[in-house]
Each structure stands twice: as C-alpha cells, then as structure tokens.
Amino acid sequence: SQQGEEDPQALSIQEGENATMNCSYKTSINNLQWYRQNSGRGLVHLILIRSNEREKHSGRLRVTLDTSKKSSSLLITASRAADTASYFCATDAKMEGGSEKLVFGKGTKLTVNP
Amino acid sequence: EAQVTQNPRYLITVTGKKLTVTCSQNMNHEYMSWYRQDPGLGLRQIYYSMNVEVTDKGDVPEGYKVSRKEKRNFPLILESPSPNQTSLYFCASSFFRGETQYFGPGTRLLVL
C-alpha cells in the first residue's frame, strides 16, 4: 500500500446508515488527519489524532488509530445527504533520511442517498 | 474571519504566458504550502514554506516557483505554463508543519 491509502475508493449508503472509511500507511507517523472535500472545493479539516492516541470523537465522527497495524478508520454515524463528499486521510509521516512530511491519500468518495 | 484566500479562482491561459496565483492567510501561520489535485492522483505538494524567506520543494516542483517575502503571502508562479500544468491548485497554511492545514478555495487552471 502507499503512504496514506484510503479504502474503499468509493462508498454509497442510505441516509441514516453509518459510513466507515479506512486509511493504511507504511511509515511511523506523528499524527494522522482526516479531511473532507466537497466537489472541487477546498479541503476542510475534520479530526487530528496523534500517534499516542487510540480514539477521538467529534460530533458524529469517530476516528480510531492502530499504530501496530498502521491503520486508521473514520466512522460517520447516522449519515446525512450533506455528508456526501470525498474524505482524505493525511499522515504526518517520518520518512527515510529523517525528514517529515504530510502525505495525503487519494480519498474515499462517499455518496449518501436520501 | 480566519481564512486562506486564493486569486484568481479560475484561469484560462495559453502555453508560455507567465502567471501568478496569489495566496494569503490571516491566521499568522508559519507554514504554507501549495498542492495540485489531479483525478486519480490525489493531492501532491508542489512547494512549501516553513517561514518567511524559507521555501523548499515538495513532490512535484518542476515548472513552478514560489516566494515568501511576507508571512501572510505565498504566491505560486508559473514562468512558462504548459498544458500538463492544467490542474486544480490549493494553497494551505498551518501554525507549524504537520499540524492542521487550512485550505484555500482552490484555483482551477486551464493551459491551452
């Protein structure tokens, strides 16, 4: 897998259902962030979870981080049509050679049908 | 209102005609960055700046220049645009590298 790779690439659900998106990465990280993008617009930050944290909540959002498996999940509960967007994970990754960089995945496109 | 602004929002130009996309933030952020977003390729970093007068290359810097003369501004310069630079461009800023990024609304560029 690539650094910061989301799964699935696309997800279609009915309003009221829960949506789960996953992110896998390869290197050690300082933190992992989730962003949302409505079609063609700027990304909006949702949650930042640090490497020493396991779970974080914000409203209907729940993010988990498993550093042993190098993976994270974003759960949106009781989804609404307005949640339709693309969701990106970004890892603040420790790269070879000691450098650090924020790497974005290619995103999960979520469609919530009314 | 805390925000990152970009101008122009839409631009159609021709090959070789120099252009500048401006980016400004009012949050006193140290770190600023430019990304391009292309279908199937996600967001790729072009250049970033850790602070005033400090800039460095990202993953796809070829064909682009930047400057950071003031903390709030981080313009992206295309000296001789080519069709492969047709893309959606985003400026972003954060207090420090690796922290929450605030994105501008995007600039959609078409190079003919």
Q: Do A43 and B98 touch (CB under 8 A)?
A: no
Confidence of residue B4 (pLDDT cuts 50, 70, 90): very high
Q: Which of B45, B100, B105 sits opposite A41 (nearest CB)?
A: B105
Chain segment B98-111, per-residue pLDDT in tens: 899 999 999 999 99
**Amino acid in position A71:** S
Give the helix, strand, coil percentages of chain B, each rounded to 5: 5, 50, 45
pLDDT beyond 60 at A1:
no
Chain segment B65-91, per-residue pLDDT in tens: 999 999 999 999 999 999 999 999 999
Q: Which of A30, A42, A107 sits opposite B90 (nearest CB)?
A: A42
pLDDT at B67: 96
Q: Please report residues of B whose CB lies closer than 8 A to that of A56.
A: none
Q: How far is A18 from chain B (nearest CA, A)?
A: 25
Show which of residues 50-89 on chain B sit within 8 Å of chain A, judged by CB atoms. Answer: 88
DSSP bridge pairs for B13: B111
What would the mean pLDDT of A66-88 be, rounded to a whole number? 97
Round to whole Å and give the CA distance between B7 and B26: 15
Could you tell me the two tokens for A4?
């910061």
